[in-house]
Chains A and B, each alone.
Chain A
Amino acid sequence: MTLTPVETLITIGIVTLGTMMTRFLPFLLFKGADAKNSYINYLGRVLPYASIGLLVVYCLKDVNLKSPAYGASEAIAIFCTAASYYWKENTLLSIGAGTVIYMLLVRL
């Protein structure tokens, strides 16, 4: 523990405050505007798809393409996850299979 307990509490409080600002902002900003504002309505319909795409890339942001494997473990595991889901539509099966394949690949 580098900080004093009070400094730690303040830092935890600040990180919580920052997180909650990002989570509550849209709900406070567009309170009551939902049905009338067609621009926000439109964004609310298309953003879920763009957000999940962003989230997948976000998960892969620290993949080191300069390592000997060039991110191949991630690519193969993602392909297996997506392909098996496309085929069988079984969420837990695809997630389980993808994760096991990834854990095996990173041990090679």
Chain B
Amino acid sequence: MQEKTKALKAAFPHTIPILTGFMFLGMAYGIIMESKGYHAGWTTLFSLVTFAGSAQYVAITFLTAFFNPTAALMMTLMVNARHVFYGISLLEKYQKAGKYKPYLIFGLCDETFSIVCSTKPPPGIDQTWFFLWITLLNHSYWVLGSLLGGLVGSLISFDLQGLDFVLTALFVVIFTNQWKSQDDHKPAICGVVCSTVCLIVFGPNRFLIPSMVIILLILSGWRRSYLEKYELVEEPIP
């Protein structure tokens, strides 16, 4: 039990930016859903079982037009295709999670991924519980935000415009952190450049999948030189 509490104490500080971002975005989501006639119960259910901010925002279109499950599925797959990269990146880290693995994979939203892929638990902290708390805390922030937005969102009168930038700032910090900790900046540059070019060429609604394909192709092309640099060095030179 004490081990779990220690893991929670270590995990919580990493989730503070997400607490802020999800309270804001979750409440905004609850307010929009409420305005479309979907009350807090529906929003909370949706956030609890799906836990995918951007897909849920896009789904508003399908909840307010004629019933079209096929289009909803295609759109969700397109919006969330980036998650495939997260899974590949975490195959090793989540390998030993045992019975908690399905939940960790379920909760692999952008924000959870960004923390898990860039953070190591402090010494003496159980890795699985550390990642589990991060996922569970983020999940509960999102559900709680959605619930509050649906219930009391219309009563809030503060001007919170721009608060959603907290999540962009989180990703920028993680990007900078990765940049400082690595000598090889090529993968990071590849991610930014390919997606920027595709965003300009294909536009905001269609750029994700072309970006992913081009990133994969370029990274695959770099594999040989990467292996030479980091692995073949240890082998004796003939």
Contacts and interface: CB of A to CB of B under 8 A. Distances in A.
Interface of A: 1-3, 7-8, 10-12, 14-27, 30, 34, 38-44, 46-62, 74, 77-78, 81-82, 85-86, 89, 91-92, 94-95, 98-99, 102-103, 105-107
A44 to B, nearest CB: 5
Contacts of B83: 19, 22-23
B5 interface: no
Contacts of B105: 23-24, 27
Interface string B54-95: 011001001111110100110111001111111111111011
22 contacts: A1-B36, A3-B63, A8-B38, A18-B75, A20-B106, A30-B88, A43-B89, A44-B90, A47-B89, A51-B86, A51-B117, A51-B191, A52-B114, A52-B118, A57-B211, A58-B110, A74-B168, A82-B175, A89-B180, A95-B170, A99-B165, A105-B162
Interface stretch (B44-52, B136-144, B146-154): B44-52
Contacts of A102: 162, 165, 169
B190 A53 contact: yes
B165 A47 contact: no
Contacts of A85: 172-173, 176-177
Interface in B5-27: 13-14, 16-17, 20
B117 A52 contact: yes
A50 B85 contact: yes
A20 to B, nearest CB: 7
A86 B173 CA distance: 9
A52 B38 contact: no
A51 B89 contact: yes
A48 B227 CA distance: 17
B2 interface: no
B80 A81 contact: no
A75 to B, nearest CB: 11
A78 B166 CA distance: 11
Nearest to B111: A55
Contacts of B219: 42-43, 46-47, 50
Interface in B189-209: 189-192, 194-196, 199, 204, 207-208
Given A2-B36, A46-B222, A59-B171, 14 more contacts: A11-B67, A11-B72, A18-B77, A40-B88, A49-B178, A52-B174, A53-B175, A78-B169, A81-B173, A82-B176, A92-B13, A94-B173, A99-B163, A106-B161
Interface residues of B, number: 96
Which among B20, B67, B94 has the greatest number of chain A C-beta atoms within 10 A? B67
A23 B17 contact: no
Nearest to A91: B173
A77 B170 CA distance: 12
B117 A48 contact: yes
Contact of A49 (B69, B88, B188, B211): B188
A26 B162 contact: no
B165 A103 contact: yes
B167 interface: yes
B157 interface: no
Nearest to B208: A58
A10 B68 CA distance: 10
